[in-house]
Amino acid sequence: MNLDQIGLIVGAILTVLVLSYLIGDNFLFRLATHILIGVGAAYITVAVIFDVIIARVVQPITANSDPMAVIIAGFGLIFSVLLLFKLLPRWAWVGNIPVGYLVGVGSAVALGGAIFGTLGPQVVSTALPPGGLLGGPADGGLNFVLNLIVIFGTLAALLSFGFYRARRGGILSGVNTVGRWLVAAALGATFALVYIASVTLLIDRVQAIADAIGLIVR
């Protein structure tokens, strides 16, 4: 029996332990949960030590080859040390500095990606002439109309999250209604995709259990 077969059997056993939750919370399910959390925490710890701390902080500072790399690594080291102050209740406010920086940068990146990666290209594509990237006369301008619908749907979904009170019966009220329906449709489609993926994973796990049983009884 090789390592692949051993891994298949171990995975099948853990799958059975997790599926035991179907009959209620029990020791076997908690055991599988603790194993998952422990292995995940150990893997993340090792990855952070070798791939982040050593590779991106220690080595750039000790090598001292690129000044900009040393400066970036120094900032990372300082923010990491400040973040450790969150463990001390009296000095927890010091750890808010790197947390605020991370939240600000993350929000800026997400907002920039949404504007320049999604909304901007849609607007630019719609503004192109029908004979350009949108296709020639053969499609009858269908892509142009589809892009207009996509832009309207995107703006309607964004406006549905606006913190304002739209006048009843006004244009914004109708746009908000359309946006909410589009958001509901998107969430429904996402749930359907998640459900299909879950069923696919369940079928794969059942097949793995059957293969493991075949290896054991062989």
Q: What is the pLDDT of residue 42?
A: 96
Domain boundary residue, one of 43, 63, 83? 63
**Residue 85 lies inside a defined structural domain of this protein:** no
The span from the CA of 153 to the CA of 101, in Å, is 33
The answer to whether residue 21 is domain-embedded is: yes
With cut-offs at 50, 70 and 90, classify the pLDDT of residue 133: very low
**Residue 47 maps to a domain:** yes
Mean pLDDT of 156-179: 73
Which structural domain range is residue 25 located in? 1-63
Q: Provide the domain count of the chain.
A: 2
Report the distance separating Cα 214 and Cα 218, nearest Å: 6
161 occurs within a structural domain? yes
DSSP 89: S
Is 199 part of a structural domain of the chain?
yes
The answer to whether the CB of 214 falls within 8 A of the CB of 7 is no
Structure tokens belonging to residue 216:
């054991």
Q: Is residue 17 part of a domain?
A: yes
Taking residues 55-83, report their average pLDDT: 83
Tell me if 56 is assigned to some domain.
yes
Question: How confident is the model over 3-32, as a mean pLDDT?
Answer: 88
What mean pLDDT value characterizes the chain? 83
* Residues written for the chain: 218
Among 24, 43, 63, the domain boundary falls at 63
Q: Is residue 113 part of a domain?
A: no
Long-range contacts of 17-20 (CB under 8 A, 24+ apart): 19/205
Angle formed by the axes of helices 120-127 and 142-159, to 10°?
150
Domain boundary among 63, 79, 103: 63
Report H helices in the chain: 3-19, 27-47, 59-63, 67-84, 96-114, 120-127, 142-159, 171-217
Better-scored residue on pLDDT, 64 or 11: 11
